[in-house]
Amino acid sequence: MKLILLGPPGAGKGTQSRLLEARYGLAQISGDMLRAEVRAGSPIGLEARSVMEAGKLVSDDILIRMIAARINARECAKGFILDGIPRTTLQAQALDEMLHDHEIELDAVIELTVNASELAGRIAGRFTCAGCGEGYHDSFRPLAQAGICDACSGTEFVRRSDDTAEAVHARLEVYAAQTAPVAAHYRAQRRLYSVDGMASMADVETHIEAVLRRVDRAGSRASALATAVTLTRCRDD
Ligand code: ADP
Ligand code: ZN
């Protein structure tokens, strides 16, 4: 499965990506991971770092090449989830071209729709385990045991510096202006599925799985059709 998860900050993309990763062995690719690659100093990471150190934004070209390197790596053998990427229609177009060059077809783009007024609460309360990346929330997904990660027993946690009620408003405005049009880009390609992100985490997961079953069935129908056509052609020969 090759998927894109779209939605504003706090919609639940990271949460659902990790569930899909655990259930289907898909690899999550997020902006955070690409930033980690810069810190780790891979060749393309170093190239990105020199741009960042010059005070410039990493170009779409570098971003897309970092994604290309990831999706061709072994960790993506069962597929991948682009979590919150692309962020602009220009990036979406560059991604389309790169996937086309690598003969990779997206199975679905899933948009988590949410009520903007709820997002501030979700973003302001979230934190992540520094050890394994598991996501938590002060109210919606607290630690089972105070100070200890449920997943890896780690004891260090991080909160993003822009995960504050004050910064949320500006981040949502950027999202509405630059990223919301990305959904229309994929709707035009008939790849877009909308899932209600306001439902409980378990219900969002169930709805995403229903989408995956649907595209999977459509995919096997298409390949059965292709086989049938090939067989007919063979008989004609
Ligand atoms: P994104 O990756 O889209 O920014 P996250 O997955 O980090 O969003 O989710 C934001 C916060 O909201 C996290 O603290 C997460 O635990 C919580 N959360 C995610 N999905 C839900 C949900 N369906 N209901 C309530 N809280 C949720
Ligand atoms: Zn952990």
CA angle in degrees (0–180, nearest 5) for 122-125-128: 105
In the residue annotation, 87 being an active-site residue is answered as: yes
27 CB less than 6 Å from ligand 1? no
Q: Are 104 and 80 in contact (CB under 8 A)?
A: no
Examine the pLDDT at 59 and tell me if it is beyond 60. Answer: yes
80 bridge partner residues: 2, 27
Q: Are 129 and 18 in contact (CB under 8 A)?
A: no
What pLDDT score does 226 carry?
67
In the residue annotation, 233 being an active-site residue is answered as: no
In the residue annotation, 39 being an active-site residue is answered as: no
Average pLDDT (4-28) is 94
Examine the pLDDT at 76 and tell me if it is beyond 70. Answer: yes
Q: Which of 87, 141, 187, 191 is catalytic?
A: 87
Q: Are 115 and 10 in contact (CB under 8 A)?
A: no
User: Which residues surround the ion ligand 2 when the cut-off is CB under 5 Å?
Assistant: 129, 131-132, 134, 149, 151-152, 154
In the residue annotation, 78 being an active-site residue is answered as: no
Residue 160: Cβ within 10 Å count: 13
- Residue 185 CA to ligand 1 center (angstroms) comes to 25
15 CB less than 6 Å from ligand 1? yes
Q: How far is CA 224 from CA 16, 71, 103, 233, in A?
A: 30, 26, 19, 14
What pLDDT score does 49 carry?
82
Check: pTM over 0.85? Answer yes or no. Answer: yes
- Residue 197 CA to ligand 1 center (angstroms) comes to 9
pLDDT band at 207 (very low <50, low <70, confident <90, very high): very high
Examine the pLDDT at 186 and tell me if it is beyond 90. Answer: yes
Pocket test for ligand 1, best of 83, 140, 164 (most atoms within 8 A of CB): 140
Q: Which of 13, 18, 70, 122 is catalytic?
A: 13
